Protein backbone atom coordinates (compact mmCIF):
# COMPACT_ATOMS: atom_id res chain seq x y z
CA UNK A 1 0.00 0.00 0.00
CA UNK A 2 1.37 3.42 -0.91
CA UNK A 3 2.01 5.60 2.10
CA UNK A 4 -0.04 8.78 2.38
CA UNK A 5 3.01 10.54 3.77
CA UNK A 6 6.54 9.26 3.61
CA UNK A 7 9.43 11.34 4.92
CA UNK A 8 12.97 10.19 4.31
CA UNK A 9 15.76 12.19 5.91
CA UNK A 10 13.77 15.41 5.80
CA UNK A 11 15.77 18.46 6.82
CA UNK A 12 14.46 21.97 7.23
CA UNK A 13 16.42 25.03 8.31
CA UNK A 14 15.49 28.62 8.82
CA UNK A 15 18.70 30.49 8.07
CA UNK A 16 21.38 28.99 10.28
CA UNK A 17 18.87 27.21 12.53
CA UNK A 18 18.24 23.58 11.68
CA UNK A 19 14.73 22.75 12.85
CA UNK A 20 14.20 19.32 11.26
CA UNK A 21 17.33 17.22 11.40
CA UNK A 22 16.47 14.21 9.30
CA UNK A 23 12.91 13.04 9.83
CA UNK A 24 11.92 9.54 8.73
CA UNK A 25 8.23 8.78 9.09
CA UNK A 26 5.51 6.95 7.24
CA UNK A 27 1.77 7.52 7.49
CA UNK A 28 -0.45 4.87 5.91
CA UNK A 29 -3.82 5.60 4.34
CA UNK A 30 -6.59 5.68 6.98
CA UNK A 31 -4.03 5.93 9.75
CA UNK A 32 -4.39 8.29 12.71
CA UNK A 33 -0.86 9.42 13.32
CA UNK A 34 -0.27 11.41 16.50
CA UNK A 35 2.75 13.62 17.01
CA UNK A 36 3.89 14.78 20.44
CA UNK A 37 6.94 16.61 21.68
CA UNK A 38 8.12 19.69 23.52
CA UNK A 39 7.49 23.17 22.23
CA UNK A 40 10.03 24.07 19.56
CA UNK A 41 10.79 20.48 18.57
CA UNK A 42 9.63 21.06 14.98
CA UNK A 43 6.13 19.55 14.98
CA UNK A 44 4.41 22.48 13.28
CA UNK A 45 7.26 22.86 10.83
CA UNK A 46 6.89 19.23 9.83
CA UNK A 47 3.14 19.66 9.26
CA UNK A 48 3.85 22.77 7.21
CA UNK A 49 6.29 20.81 5.04
CA UNK A 50 3.63 18.14 4.41
CA UNK A 51 1.22 20.89 3.43
CA UNK A 52 3.71 22.59 1.10
CA UNK A 53 3.83 25.72 3.24
CA UNK A 54 7.56 25.16 3.71
CA UNK A 55 10.10 23.72 1.32
CA UNK A 56 12.49 21.15 2.67
CA UNK A 57 16.26 21.61 2.43
CA UNK A 58 17.26 17.98 2.10
CA UNK A 59 15.72 14.55 1.99
CA UNK A 60 12.62 13.30 0.30
CA UNK A 61 9.03 13.91 1.16
CA UNK A 62 6.25 12.01 -0.55
CA UNK A 63 2.68 13.10 -0.01
CA UNK A 64 -0.13 11.03 -1.50
CA UNK A 65 2.25 9.20 -3.79
CA UNK A 66 3.89 12.32 -5.19
CA UNK A 67 7.43 13.29 -4.49
CA UNK A 68 6.95 16.86 -3.37
CA UNK A 69 10.41 17.65 -2.14
CA UNK A 70 13.67 16.08 -3.09
CA UNK A 71 16.92 17.80 -2.56
CA UNK A 72 20.40 16.50 -2.03
CA UNK A 73 23.63 18.29 -1.31
CA UNK A 74 21.86 21.59 -1.71
CA UNK A 75 20.98 20.79 -5.31
CA UNK A 76 17.41 21.28 -6.29
CA UNK A 77 16.37 17.99 -7.81
CA UNK A 78 12.66 18.31 -7.77
CA UNK A 79 10.42 21.14 -6.81
CA UNK A 80 6.77 21.68 -7.58
CA UNK A 81 5.67 24.76 -9.44
CA UNK A 82 3.38 27.15 -7.56
CA UNK A 83 0.44 26.04 -9.69
CA UNK A 84 1.13 22.41 -8.82
CA UNK A 85 1.43 23.27 -5.14
CA UNK A 86 -1.94 24.98 -5.23
CA UNK A 87 -3.52 21.85 -6.72
CA UNK A 88 -1.87 19.53 -4.20
CA UNK A 89 -2.91 21.68 -1.27
CA UNK A 90 -6.55 21.23 -2.21
CA UNK A 91 -6.27 17.61 -1.12
CA UNK A 92 -4.92 18.45 2.32
CA UNK A 93 -7.05 19.94 5.05
CA UNK A 94 -5.41 21.77 7.91
CA UNK A 95 -6.78 22.78 11.26
CA UNK A 96 -4.80 25.11 13.50
CA UNK A 97 -4.79 25.96 17.16
CA UNK A 98 -6.45 29.25 16.23
CA UNK A 99 -9.53 28.70 14.13
CA UNK A 100 -9.11 31.69 11.78
CA UNK A 101 -12.67 31.70 10.52
CA UNK A 102 -13.73 34.59 8.32
CA UNK A 103 -15.39 36.88 10.89
CA UNK A 104 -17.80 38.50 8.44
CA UNK A 105 -19.22 35.19 7.22
CA UNK A 106 -21.67 32.85 8.91
CA UNK A 107 -20.65 29.31 9.82
CA UNK A 108 -22.35 28.05 6.66
CA UNK A 109 -20.66 30.66 4.46
CA UNK A 110 -17.27 29.84 6.00
CA UNK A 111 -17.72 26.18 5.06
CA UNK A 112 -18.98 27.02 1.55
CA UNK A 113 -16.23 29.49 0.72
CA UNK A 114 -13.32 27.37 -0.50
CA UNK A 115 -15.25 24.97 -2.75
CA UNK A 116 -16.89 27.94 -4.47
CA UNK A 117 -13.78 30.14 -4.70
CA UNK A 118 -11.13 27.49 -5.29
CA UNK A 119 -12.97 24.71 -7.08
CA UNK A 120 -15.57 26.84 -8.84
CA UNK A 121 -18.37 24.80 -7.36
CA UNK A 122 -21.90 26.18 -7.61
CA UNK A 123 -23.26 27.80 -4.48
CA UNK A 124 -26.14 25.35 -4.39
CA UNK A 125 -23.85 22.34 -4.31
CA UNK A 126 -21.49 23.98 -1.81
CA UNK A 127 -24.36 25.02 0.44
CA UNK A 128 -25.80 21.53 0.44
CA UNK A 129 -22.49 19.97 1.43
CA UNK A 130 -21.77 22.69 4.00
CA UNK A 131 -25.09 21.99 5.67
CA UNK A 132 -24.30 18.29 5.88
CA UNK A 133 -20.82 18.97 7.25
CA UNK A 134 -22.13 21.32 9.93
CA UNK A 135 -24.55 18.57 10.88
CA UNK A 136 -21.66 16.12 11.05
CA UNK A 137 -19.76 18.34 13.50
CA UNK A 138 -22.91 18.82 15.56
CA UNK A 139 -23.61 22.40 14.52
CA UNK A 140 -26.58 22.16 12.16
CA UNK A 141 -28.43 24.68 14.33
CA UNK A 142 -25.57 27.20 14.20
CA UNK A 143 -25.32 27.51 10.39
CA UNK A 144 -26.45 31.15 10.45
CA UNK A 145 -24.24 32.22 13.35
CA UNK A 146 -21.19 34.40 12.90
CA UNK A 147 -17.93 33.26 14.52
CA UNK A 148 -18.31 35.86 17.27
CA UNK A 149 -21.58 34.17 18.20
CA UNK A 150 -19.92 30.77 18.66
CA UNK A 151 -17.80 29.33 21.46
CA UNK A 152 -14.18 28.47 20.77
CA UNK A 153 -15.05 24.80 20.53
CA UNK A 154 -17.88 25.50 18.11
CA UNK A 155 -15.59 27.70 16.00
CA UNK A 156 -13.03 24.92 15.88
CA UNK A 157 -15.69 22.47 14.74
CA UNK A 158 -16.68 24.91 11.98
CA UNK A 159 -13.00 25.09 11.03
CA UNK A 160 -12.92 21.29 10.76
CA UNK A 161 -16.07 21.33 8.60
CA UNK A 162 -14.48 24.03 6.45
CA UNK A 163 -11.40 21.87 5.88
CA UNK A 164 -13.57 18.83 5.10
CA UNK A 165 -15.53 20.83 2.53
CA UNK A 166 -12.63 20.47 0.12
CA UNK A 167 -12.95 16.69 0.46
CA UNK A 168 -9.32 16.24 1.47
CA UNK A 169 -7.44 12.96 1.37
CA UNK A 170 -5.41 13.95 4.39
CA UNK A 171 -6.19 16.09 7.42
CA UNK A 172 -3.48 17.81 9.44
CA UNK A 173 -4.32 19.03 12.94
CA UNK A 174 -1.89 21.32 14.75
CA UNK A 175 -2.82 21.36 18.43
CA UNK A 176 -6.51 21.80 17.58
CA UNK A 177 -7.65 21.90 21.20
CA UNK A 178 -4.79 23.78 22.84
CA UNK A 179 -6.53 27.15 22.73
CA UNK A 180 -9.83 25.86 24.10
CA UNK A 181 -11.29 26.00 27.56
CA UNK A 182 -11.09 22.48 29.03
CA UNK A 183 -14.84 21.90 28.95
CA UNK A 184 -14.90 22.54 25.18
CA UNK A 185 -12.11 20.14 24.26
CA UNK A 186 -14.23 16.98 24.36
CA UNK A 187 -16.64 18.01 21.59
CA UNK A 188 -13.76 18.76 19.22
CA UNK A 189 -12.02 15.48 20.03
CA UNK A 190 -15.32 13.64 19.48
CA UNK A 191 -15.55 15.11 15.97
CA UNK A 192 -11.97 14.03 15.27
CA UNK A 193 -12.72 10.58 16.65
CA UNK A 194 -15.68 10.32 14.26
CA UNK A 195 -13.50 11.32 11.34
CA UNK A 196 -11.01 8.64 12.27
CA UNK A 197 -13.77 6.04 12.39
CA UNK A 198 -14.86 7.12 8.92
CA UNK A 199 -11.37 6.28 7.69
CA UNK A 200 -9.84 9.72 7.29
CA UNK A 201 -6.05 9.79 7.25
CA UNK A 202 -5.00 12.19 9.98
CA UNK A 203 -1.76 13.61 11.32
CA UNK A 204 -2.49 15.12 14.71
CA UNK A 205 -0.13 17.21 16.80
CA UNK A 206 -1.65 17.11 20.25
CA UNK A 207 -1.10 17.15 23.97
CA UNK A 208 -4.24 15.09 24.48
CA UNK A 209 -2.67 11.79 25.46
CA UNK A 210 -6.09 10.22 26.02
CA UNK A 211 -6.98 10.90 22.39
CA UNK A 212 -3.62 9.57 21.22
CA UNK A 213 -4.12 6.41 23.23
CA UNK A 214 -7.75 5.78 22.27
CA UNK A 215 -7.82 6.95 18.66
CA UNK A 216 -4.21 6.97 17.47
CA UNK A 217 -2.77 4.12 15.43
CA UNK A 218 0.77 5.44 15.82
CA UNK A 219 2.41 7.85 18.19
CA UNK A 220 5.62 9.70 17.46
CA UNK A 221 7.68 11.52 20.03
CA UNK A 222 9.74 14.28 18.44
CA UNK A 223 12.42 16.27 20.22
CA UNK A 224 14.83 18.83 18.89
CA UNK A 225 14.09 18.09 15.25
CA UNK A 226 14.41 14.33 15.35
CA UNK A 227 12.05 11.40 15.80
CA UNK A 228 13.05 9.94 19.15
CA UNK A 229 10.47 7.19 19.29
CA UNK A 230 7.56 5.88 17.25
CA UNK A 231 5.17 3.05 17.93
CA UNK A 232 1.78 1.95 19.06
CA UNK A 233 0.42 4.76 21.28
CA UNK A 234 -0.25 2.49 24.24
CA UNK A 235 3.27 1.08 24.08
CA UNK A 236 4.92 4.47 23.78
CA UNK A 237 2.83 5.97 26.57
CA UNK A 238 3.09 3.11 29.01
CA UNK A 239 6.52 1.78 28.17
CA UNK A 240 8.65 4.47 26.53
CA UNK A 241 12.01 3.21 25.31
CA UNK A 242 13.98 6.43 25.61
CA UNK A 243 14.86 8.69 28.50
CA UNK A 244 13.83 11.77 26.55
CA UNK A 245 10.35 10.30 25.98
CA UNK A 246 10.06 9.32 29.66
CA UNK A 247 11.09 12.79 30.79
CA UNK A 248 8.57 14.46 28.47
CA UNK A 249 5.73 12.14 29.43
CA UNK A 250 6.43 12.61 33.13
CA UNK A 251 5.75 16.32 32.63
CA UNK A 252 2.54 16.01 30.61
CA UNK A 253 0.82 12.90 31.96
P1 LIG B 1 6.71 23.05 17.58
O2 LIG B 1 5.50 23.10 16.73
O3 LIG B 1 7.17 21.67 17.90
O4 LIG B 1 6.55 23.85 18.85
P5 LIG B 1 7.91 24.63 15.50
O6 LIG B 1 7.97 23.76 14.30
O7 LIG B 1 6.86 25.67 15.56
O8 LIG B 1 7.93 23.73 16.81
O9 LIG B 1 9.30 25.40 15.65
C10 LIG B 1 10.55 24.74 15.72
C11 LIG B 1 11.65 25.77 15.72
O12 LIG B 1 11.67 26.42 14.46
C13 LIG B 1 11.47 26.86 16.76
O14 LIG B 1 12.73 27.13 17.32
C15 LIG B 1 10.97 28.03 15.95
O16 LIG B 1 11.37 29.23 16.54
C17 LIG B 1 11.63 27.81 14.61
N18 LIG B 1 10.84 28.36 13.49
C19 LIG B 1 9.64 27.94 13.08
N20 LIG B 1 9.22 28.64 12.01
C21 LIG B 1 10.19 29.54 11.74
C22 LIG B 1 10.37 30.57 10.76
N23 LIG B 1 9.44 30.79 9.81
N24 LIG B 1 11.50 31.28 10.80
C25 LIG B 1 12.45 31.04 11.72
N26 LIG B 1 12.36 30.10 12.68
C27 LIG B 1 11.24 29.35 12.70
MG1 LIG C 1 3.66 23.95 17.03
Report how far ligand 2's centroid is from the alpha carbon of 38 (Å).
9
Any atom of ligand 1 within 6 Å of the Cβ of 40:
yes
User: ipTM more than 0.95?
Assistant: yes
Q: Which tens digit of pLDDT belongs to each residue from 34-63?
A: 999 999 999 999 999 999 899 898 899 999
Q: What are phi and psi of 38, to 5 degrees?
A: -65, 160
Cβ atoms of 192 and 174 within 8 Å: the answer is no
Report how far ligand 1's centroid is from the alpha carbon of 19 (Å).
7
Atom of ligand 1 nearest to the CA of 225: 10
Q: Which tens digit of pLDDT belongs to each residue from 71-105?
A: 665 566 667 788 888 888 889 999 999 888 999 99
Cβ contacts of residue 245 below 8 Å, gap of 6+? 221, 228, 229, 236
pLDDT exceeds cutoff 80 at 27: yes
Tell me which ligand sits closest to the C-alpha of residue 19.
1
Average pLDDT value for residue range 171-192? 96
- Mean of pLDDT over the chain: 94
Q: Which of 89, 85, 131, 87 is nearest to 110 (CA)?
A: 131
User: What is the predicted pLDDT for the residue at 72?
Assistant: 63
Amino acid sequence: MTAMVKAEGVHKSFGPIEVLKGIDLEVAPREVFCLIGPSGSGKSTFLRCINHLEKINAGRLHVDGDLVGYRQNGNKLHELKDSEVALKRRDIGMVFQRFNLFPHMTALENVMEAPVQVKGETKAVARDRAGKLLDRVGLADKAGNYPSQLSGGQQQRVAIARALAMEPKLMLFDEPTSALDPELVGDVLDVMHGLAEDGMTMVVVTHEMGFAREVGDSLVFMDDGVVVEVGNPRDVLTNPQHDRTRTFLSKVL
